[in-house]
A and B are shown apart, each in its own frame.
Chain A
Amino acid sequence: MSATSVTSAPEDIIVSKKLGFGFWLCVTWVGLMAFIAIFASALPLKSPTANFLDSARGRPPYAPSWSHWFGTDKDARDVFSRSMYGARISLTVGFAAITAGFLIGGTLGVISGYYKGWIDRISSFGFIVLLSFPSLVLAILLTSLIDRNLLTVSMVLGLLSIAPVGRLARAATLQYADREFVLAARQIGATNRRIIIKEILPNVAIPMSSLALLGMAVAVVAEGGLAFLGFSVQKGITWGGLIQLGSDASKTLQDAPWIAFFPILMLFLTVLSLNFAGDRLRTFFDVKETTL
């Protein structure tokens, strides 16, 4: 009934098919963070590792001040520049992880969705196996067994994102695998590889890509969790680690809450932005809600 389809959900009256201001705001924030992450060392930031001790006056005040905007931590280090540098590992890992997840999981998903049969059965089972660990448990388990550097941690989180991404890709592929244009392509004797690349991928890519941001948010949070528990990149400054350092002892948290709260703020804003932007994209391409 086309008439009633006009009496659409109040939702649609709110969500106009525009990305909207909020989206761009979020993208800007993430962009800013990325910029800082990349060029931190080039920016006029205090050294994030230096202990700002003064043999005469001892350590600088904990509380935020002109010289240390976010205050200083227990070790007289500048919380502001640490929060900035924190973006590095957090975002890098987040990005690398989701990229790896999409490359591996995406490929697996598309292939198994397209060829079906035993490939599908095996990979799908693999996905379920991965999914039957609570992800944080699996992450801790793996990171505890490896030498934790930027690459390995990213890979572990990437591994975790394989299953959800793979499932999505597979589902998306299944929708198209038997569509007319694919069958047509087969008729004219196009190779499977060609069909996948020319016909399937473009269709699958769009909905998937809209989930990349959401995925990255998840990865960033996961990294934070690992760092908070002490399982992330060693010797690295990461938001999760900063938060732990600021909250480990009740005394610190009580007397100098900002040590933990500024990193929390950064992390929160970043995750929020990623989520929001991702959500907007999702509704924009209107992809179904997922359990990514």
Chain B
Amino acid sequence: MKIYGQSSRRTRRILGVTLVSLLSFAAACGGGSSSDETSAPTETEAPTDSGAPATDAPAEETPVAGGTLRVGLEADVDGLNPTASALAVAGLTMASAVFDPLFTFDVDGNAVPYLAESIEPSADFMVWTMTLRAGVVFHDGTPLTTDAVIKQFEITRNDPLVGLAVKPYYPETDAVVKIDDLTMEFHPLDASQYFPTALTAQLGYIASPTWLDALAADPTLEQAPVGTGPFQFDSRTEDSVTRFVRNDNWWGTDIIGPTYLDAIEFFPVPDPDTRTEMIQNGELDLLHTTDTNQFQTYRDDPKLTTSIDENGEEYFLMINTAKAPFDDIRVRQALALATDRQGYYDLFNAGEGIMADQMFTPDSQYFNPDVKQDGNDPAAAAALVAEYCGENPVDADGKAQCTDGKVNMEYQWSGPSVIATRIADFYNENWKASFNVTFDEQNQQMHIQEAALGVYNVVGWRQFGAENPGDDRVWLECRNIGGISLNWPRYCDEARDALIKEIANPASPDERVGLIQELVQNLHDSYAYIFMTHSSWAIVNTDKVQGNCDRKSPDGNALVCSTNGRMYFQSTWLSS
């Protein structure tokens, strides 16, 4: 069945996400169409990277094959092309059914081989030798070979957008070198012990080379992905329904285990309320959401099982440090102080989740207890602004930055979105004492474009929350500042870059924790981010959905059942 939400917006907006997903974790940035960006984790019980088990399937129950799983997603994607499409959480979820990643996370958060059989670093971690699994074929019969992987890598690297997250980390030539049909070498520019995590998401989802060639001729084929996954493409109507059916000669069947579902149908339903109503009406079996307003509803419904994956992204205000007036740290600080973080939490988190002081939740090993996000102090803010405006500063074009003692600024968000507008109003209320706030509601594409091109003052953003904190580097390093920046705030700090290099390659694990906590401090001191809340993903399913946490890697490691809202289906089955 096709279900429609109002204004099902394409996720092309999610440039950030594209790149993010390349680096193995998903983040929806820039104010989505639903209230998703306002959420935060709620469960305060012990953290599990794997999220709570989705079902407590009674032991005696044995998996049965068959059935169609109906999944509600927060959005649709432009296409399912790992080399070019913007795969946000929704996209990655669909992709995880048709594609297999080279590596994937086990329950301890380590990247373990999946489509790859093994990987070996050189002593200095500068060369990684990867061996592919033998005898794997794509849905179109093409065999999986080194060439396929290299072809995809090169196409991806040359993509104007997706490539942005790849280019800076590899040499122009010989980034990936073929040894034989199943063996190849990666030559990253930086040493990293954690290199394989880069191959757990979009960059790791290997598509059929035959299909990639065809794509070049006919971009519409993006809609019909061809991978090696446990499910293969059946049909797709954009913004309405995408249907995959079981791939009966999946390579993993003997090694990992059978795939039970006959088919999966993905329904993009941007409106969280509608998604809720649908699963309650039995129109869906499974959904994901970050709308904390819904959490209680789910808990109250006996027919539903909810697992909260609270290792989500952080929601924060992001400041463009390259552009007056926020090139002055006092102004950034003032903005932070003027912001009523408590009020925000009270209003927009429906009593769920926790406020964020930094990119880690208190129960994370990397949490830095000394770092507190300043805020809720209008007086201090006023003082700083007075000081700044006292110098009546002007920007490059000689435009005055203050008007009658207040700093002129623009708050940008992507609309139309009721919740985003409410948030904008709220901030305006916070800031208007010290700032003349202009509202700049942009449609999603424009919003991302302006962020990427650095033509903004302040935006609401969702990011971070990497499985492996080292992978957040793409947002932070100087090298990612350019025409289009992934270092959105355009904040360059050599010391920070050095720190990141070390984190990627620490002498000992404990030292690593210390370094990361140092990074957290550095982030705070830059005042490029005002942390608001930790968002968290709820994965909700009806009681007939079973076994989605019984995934195993070829080597038998137990795997996570969800990653920041991204779901997997290989081991899922439906009880009758």
Q: Are A and B in direct contact (Cβ within 8 Å)?
A: yes
If A51-B426, A235-B428, A250-B277 touch, whether A245 touches B293 (CB-CB below 8 Å) is no
Bitwise interface map of A from 222 to 258 toward B, beta carbon under 8 Å scored 1, else 0: 0000000010001100000000110011110000000
Kindly state the separation between the CA atoms of A245 and B35 in the bound complex, as whole angstroms: 13
How many chain B residues touch A (CB < 8 A): the figure is: 24
Determine, out of B24-32, B139-147, B187-195, B415-423, the stretch whose residues face the partner at the interface. Answer: B415-423
Residues of chain B within 8 A of A53, CB atoms compared: 340, 342-343, 346-347
Measured CA separation A249–B34 after assembly (Å): 10
- Contacting pair A234 B273 (CB below 8 A): no
B1-57 residues with Cβ-Cβ distance < 8 A to A are: 35
Please encode chain B, from 271 to 313, with 1 for each CB lying within 8 Å of some chain A CB and 0 for all others.
Answer: 1111001000000000000000100010000000000000000
Binary per-residue interface labels of chain B (419-461) against chain A in the complex, 1 for a CB within 8 Å, 0 otherwise: 0011001101100000000010100000000000000000000
Q: Are B273 and A75 in contact (CB under 8 A)?
A: no
Q: Nearest Cβ distance between residue B40 and chain A, in whole angstroms? A: 16
Q: Are B439 and A235 in contact (CB under 8 A)?
A: yes
**Which residues of chain A have C-beta atoms less than 8 A from B340's C-beta?**
53
Please, how many angstroms separate the alpha-carbon atoms of A282 and B40 in the complex?
A: 58
Our pick among A49, A235, A250 for the contact of B273 (Cβ within 8 Å) is A250
Residue in B271, B273, B277, B415 with the greatest tally of chain A CB atoms within 10 Å:
B273
Who on chain B is nearest to A251 by CB? B273
**CB < 8 Å neighbour of A244 from B415, B418, B425, B441:** B418
B347 in complex: contacting residue of A75, A230, A245, CB < 8 Å:
A75
Separation of A51 and B35 alpha carbons in the complex (Å) = 19
- A75 vs B419: C-alpha distance when bound (angstroms): 10
Contact (Cβ within 8 A) A59 B347: yes
In the bound complex, what is the Cα–Cα distance between A230 and B439 (angstroms)? 14
Specify which of A58, A75, A249, A251 is in contact with B425 (CB 8 Å cutoff): A75
Residues of B within 8 A of A230 (CB): 415-416, 421
Q: How far is the CB of A105 from chain B (nearest CB, A)?
A: 31
Question: Contact between B429 and A234 (Cβ–Cβ < 8 Å)?
Answer: no
Instruction: Mark interface residues in A167-191 (1 if CB within 8 Å of B CB, else 0).
Output: 0000000000000000000000000
Task: Establish whether residues A58 and B439, one from each chain, have CB atoms under 8 Å apart when the complex forms.
Answer: no
Q: Which of B297, B342, B418 is the one whose CB lies under 8 Å from A248?
A: B418
Residues of A within 8 A of B422 (CB): 74-75, 245
Min CB distance A226 to B, Å, is 12
Quick check: B293 and A51 within 8 Å, CB to CB?
no
A74 touches B273 (CB 8 A): no
Which residues of chain A in 5-64 are interfacial with respect to chain B, using CB atoms and an 8 Å cutoff?
A: 49-51, 53, 55, 58-59
Residue of A nearest to B297 (CB): A251
Residues of chain B within 8 A of A59, CB atoms compared: 346-347
Knowing A234-B441, A235-B439 are in contact, say whether A55-B342 is a contact too (CB < 8 A): yes
Rounded to whole Å, the gap between the CB of A104 and the closest CB of chain B is 30
Measured as residues with beta carbon below 8 angstroms from the partner, the interface class of chain A is: 10 to 19
Contacts of B425 in A (CB 8 A): 49, 75, 235
B426 touches A75 (CB 8 A): yes
Question: What residues of A have a CB within 8 angstroms of the CB of B439 in the complex?
Answer: 234-235
| Contact indicator A51/B343 (Cβ below 8 Å) | yes
Residues in A neighbouring B274, C-beta threshold 8 A: 250
In the bound complex, residues from chain B placing their C-beta under 8 Å from that of A75 are 347, 422, 425-426
Closest Cβ of chain A to B395, distance in Å, is 21
Point out the residues of chain B lying under 8 angstroms from A245, CB to CB. Answer: 418, 422
Question: Chain A's nearest CB lies how many Å from the CB of B420?
Answer: 11
Given contacts A74-B422, A75-B347, A248-B418, contact A49 B293 (CB under 8 A): no
Q: How far is the CA of A184 from the CA of B415 in the complex (A)?
A: 62
List the A side residues contacting B293 at CB < 8 Å.
249, 251
In the complex, what residue of chain B is closest to A73 when comparing beta carbons? B422
Is B441 a contact of A74 with CB atoms below 8 Å? no
Contacting A74 at CB < 8 Å: which of B277, B343, B347? B347
Chain B's nearest CB lies how many Å from the CB of A157?
Answer: 19
Determine whether A91 belongs to the interface, using a CB cutoff of 8 Å to chain B. Answer: no
Report the Cα distance A179→B415, complex, angstroms.
Answer: 57
A251: chain B residues at CB < 8 Å are: 273, 293, 297
Q: Across the interface, which residues of A come within 8 angstroms of B343, CB to CB? A: 51, 53
Q: Is the CB of B428 within 8 A of A49?
A: yes
Alpha-carbon separation in the docked complex, A245 to B417 (Å): 10
Residues facing B in A244-278 (CB within 8 A) are: 244-245, 248-251
Question: For residue A248, which residues in chain B have a CB less than 8 angstroms away from its CB?
Answer: 418
Q: Can you list the 8 inter-chain pairs with the closest CB atoms, starting with the nearest?
A: A230-B416, A248-B418, A250-B273, A53-B343, A249-B273, A235-B439, A49-B429, A75-B347
Other A-B pairs, 20, CB within 8 Å; known A53-B343, A230-B421, A235-B428: A49-B428, A51-B426, A53-B342, A58-B346, A75-B425, A75-B426, A76-B347, A230-B415, A230-B416, A234-B439, A234-B441, A235-B425, A235-B439, A244-B418, A245-B418, A249-B272, A249-B273, A249-B418, A251-B273, A251-B297
Task: Provide a sorted-by-A list of 10 A–B residue pairs whose CB atoms are within 8 angstroms.
Answer: A51-B426, A53-B343, A55-B342, A59-B346, A76-B347, A230-B415, A249-B271, A249-B272, A250-B273, A251-B293
